[in-house]
Amino acid sequence: MTAQGFTLFDTVIGRCGLAWGDRGLIGVQLPESSPGAAWARLRRRFPEAVEAEPSPEMDAVIERIRDLLAGGRDDLSDIPLDLEGQTAFNLRVYEIARAITPGETSTYGEVAKAMGEPGAARAVGKALGENPWPIVVPCHRVLGSSGNMGGFSAPGGAETKARLLTIEKAKTSQTPTLFDLEFSVAPPRGG
């Protein structure tokens, strides 16, 4: 039996949680809508885990997540995950999702194509909906084919997904915004 622990911590988006075991993270919890709800969900998701002070390694993970949620650029891709119980398909999806850097996005179809299974966009979406490590496995960076948010199973749904992408300054559409435009007009000369 692996010893499991969990803790809650505050971030700029609200109170998040981590659950861990001897082999790495077993889960990440995004903020819930009411106080105590994140704690209750962690308890339900990981009944073997006990609330505990995080180890120095988990403290470092917490600080990295806080930094990313405050607009940092750490991709968190080297954080060890406990992969026990995951299907081979889901693991392939998560591996590709972890390669999407902050500020970048992909689509369900592009992830499926990268897996060599171009018809599996819905299955990719299902796998991302089962992701136990949101933020660390950045499922929020995967969009629908037209740049729409698609689903997001974390509390707050698509609104939370949009908020995370906004924090990362991610481009979610091919349509340029005012900030994307480059002005080619020379400034007027003083005279």
Which residues belong to the active site? 139
Do 7 and 58 touch, CB atoms closer than 8 A?
yes
- Give the closest residue to 133 by CA, choosing from 65, 37, 48: 65
CB 141 within 8 A of CB 170: yes
Task: Compute the distance between CA of residue 164 and CA of residue 140 in angstroms, rounded to an integer.
Answer: 7
Hey, how many other C-beta atoms are within 10 angstroms of the C-beta on 150?
A: 21
Q: Where are the alpha helices (DSSP H) in 34-185?
A: 37-45, 56-69, 88-98, 108-114, 121-129, 157-167
**What is the C-alpha to C-alpha distance for residues 61 and 187, in angstroms, rounded to an integer?**
47
| The two three-digit tokens of residue 153, written as one number | 């199973």
Q: Tell me, what amino acid is at 158?
A: A
